[in-house]
Structure 1
Amino acid sequence: MNGQQQGHAARVAVITGSDSGIGRATAVRLAEQGADIGITWHRDIEGARRTAEEVRALGRRAAVAHLDLTLLPDAAEVIDHLAEELGGLDILVNNSGTGTATPFLDLDLATVRQVLDVDLIGPFLCGQHAARHMIRQGRGGRIVNVTSVHEHQPRVGAAPYCAAKGGLGLLTQVMALELAEHGITVNAVAPGEIATPMTGQTDTDVHTERRPGIPVGRPGDAREVAAVIAFLCGPDASYVTGASWSVDGGMLRMGPQAGSHLESDAWRRP
């Protein structure tokens, strides 16, 4: 996985929150590329089992474990358990996430801590566990942290989410610097509006949805995010580290006026 091992195919990938959405799409994409998959779930065990079925149908092994990132630090030990069950660890995708739509002045400390634990502290600890496995193995590895466009731009009503995702973006950069000598690359992927259960769009055909506020005019599909994650986890990305890859249909290029909530194409005309 490092510069001297570009031909080494990743053997084991753990994707947190892979019971649906981006996590499931990533698990399937990496299985298609020959990886055995560690799957975690929080509330949807049936969804995790369906992900495992898709992985096994591709001829790869799958292991399933429960993960509640509000129960830290112990919850992060799931990385160790899945690595032991699958016989190693080459890839970690920190995909689990949560959020809130609450005005800043109405936020309570418990909500803030919950979002920060799941979206920032959890990935921090899971990343530590994964990196230690990769260093012991001595063949490098890949870590991808799934952030959000709100790693880069604020959103009203999402103070803890934005704080966590912004923090995870900078954490990614520090991890990249410190882990590079071990042949471990660390990157962030920052999705925009993606049709997933988190956005209330399960099984949506994104090509039939109209989003005037997104330059490409539609939401994204989870498989489009998974394709970028898979690239960063593969040998062709061996010289890419510390970067944040926006997968947002051009939304961030619109600056402060960006938003999938816009109802008109008027912004397209000078």
Structure 2
Amino acid sequence: MTSPFTDSTFVPRTAVVTGGDSGIGRAVAVALAGTGIDVGVTYNRDKDGADATVQEIRQLACAAFSTHMDLTDLPGAADAVDTLAGQLGGIDVLVNCSGTGTATPFLDLDYDSWREVLSVDVDGAFLCSQRAARLMVEQGRGGRIVNITSVHEHLPKVGAAPYCAAKAGLGGLTQVMALELAQHGITVNSVAPGEISTPMTGQEGEINARPGVPLGRTGDAREIASVVAFLASATSSYMTGASLVVDGGMALMGPQAVQFVPDDSWRNV
């Protein structure tokens, strides 16, 4: 079946961003609102952060709502997608930003920690995407799903077994969804950030020097958000199943070793 949808028929009006209370999620929500999209965000613990995101969106003259979602409480937590879609009057874009990880050696990892990361990072994204996609199909006007994975979707890191497994799994899920949802005019892509200055990485918005990264620094959440905004737009209509790595060149160096490069001497022949 050939999809009848083209870039001229898809106009995103509403979006749901999970984990929109801080970091990349907040930056994405605000970036989408900057293009005129009404946005609903979810939060787990930081209601104040979600409220601040909502206020920032409303200052851009867009509608905004927030609701609680705990992705360790599945499958019921995915009801948040339907709740926000109801408040927004539909859903054209879903961005799965919620995530967690560990810093535990493989041999010391307990099953509960393993399952918590998998639950949040891949099970939650699966359920939220399924809810959103069903609504998009029912609406009949196409849609966009963007999964925030990581450079570790593609490359490993010591101490991050469940995180790497989850992000790689989400990358594979992205590709299957892209195949199956294309006939409905729904594109599905992932964005794979490197080290971004966010609360999750212990950096509250500070851009820090990283000699081992070709661009020499950590990333800003808004640099990820701008890529997501492109994938959420009509302009990206012929892109699906892709993983866009946005990492300052980290993957070119190897994300495991790059943190141990002390200076710029590697740049010399």
Q: Are residues 195 and 104 of structure 1, via their aligned partners in 2, closer, same or farther at CA, if it must alter by over 3 Å?
A: same
Q: CA deviation at 1:261?
A: 4.3
Maintained 8 Å contact 2:14/2:39:
yes
1:1-270 residue pairs with structure 2 within 5 A? 3-6=5-8, 8-204=10-206, 206=207, 209-255=208-254, 258-270=257-269
Q: CA deviation at 1:268?
A: 1.9
> How many residues align structurally?
267
Tell me how far apart the structure 2 counterparts of residues 63 and 256 of structure 1 sit (CA, whole Å): 36
The superposition leaves residues 34-78 of structure 1 with CA deviations (integer Å, 9 ceiling, x where unpaired) of 110011101110000000000000000011100100000000111
Which sections of structure 1, spanning at least 5 residues, go unmatched? none
SS in 1 for 2:258: coil
Q: CA deviation at 1:2?
A: 7.1
Q: TM-score, normalised by structure 1?
A: 0.96
Tell me how far apart the structure 1 counterparts of residues 135 and 159 of structure 2 sit (CA, whole Å): 38
Displaced runs of 4 or more, over 6 A: none
Maintained 8 Å contact 1:151/1:169:
yes
Tell me how far apart the structure 1 counterparts of residues 97 and 5 of structure 2 sit (CA, whole Å): 26
Maintained 8 Å contact 1:213/1:262:
yes
Q: Are residues 108 and 176 of structure 1, via their aligned partners in 2, closer, same or farther at CA, if it must alter by over 3 Å?
A: same
SS in 1 for 2:191: strand
Q: Are residues 123 and 2 of structure 1, via their aligned partners in 2, closer, same or farther at CA, if it must alter by over 3 Å?
A: farther
Which sections of structure 2, spanning at least 5 residues, go unmatched? none
Maintained 8 Å contact 1:190/1:244:
yes
Maintained 8 Å contact 2:205/2:220:
no
Q: CA deviation at 1:173?
A: 0.5
Q: Are residues 2 and 125 of structure 1, via their aligned partners in 2, closer, same or farther at CA, if it must alter by over 3 Å?
A: farther
Tell me how far apart the structure 2 counterparts of residues 22 and 8 of structure 1 sit (CA, whole Å): 25
The superposition leaves residues 104-137 of structure 1 with CA deviations (integer Å, 9 ceiling, x where unpaired) of 0000000000000000010001000000000000
Maintained 8 Å contact 1:2/1:140:
no
Q: Are residues 257 and 67 of structure 1, via their aligned partners in 2, closer, same or farther at CA, if it must alter by over 3 Å?
A: closer
Tell me how far apart the structure 1 counterparts of residues 246 and 109 of structure 2 sit (CA, whole Å): 29
Q: CA deviation at 1:182?
A: 0.3
Q: Which amino acid aligns with 2:120?
A: V
Q: Are residues 5 and 137 of structure 1, via their aligned partners in 2, closer, same or farther at CA, if it must alter by over 3 Å?
A: farther
Q: Which amino acid aligns with 2:244?
A: W
RMSD between superposed Cα atoms in Å:
1.4
Tell me how far apart the structure 2 counterparts of residues 102 and 4 of structure 1 sit (CA, whole Å): 46
Q: Which amino acid aligns with 2:121?
A: D
Q: TM-score, normalised by structure 2?
A: 0.96
The superposition leaves residues 171-191 of structure 1 with CA deviations (integer Å, 9 ceiling, x where unpaired) of 100100000000000000000
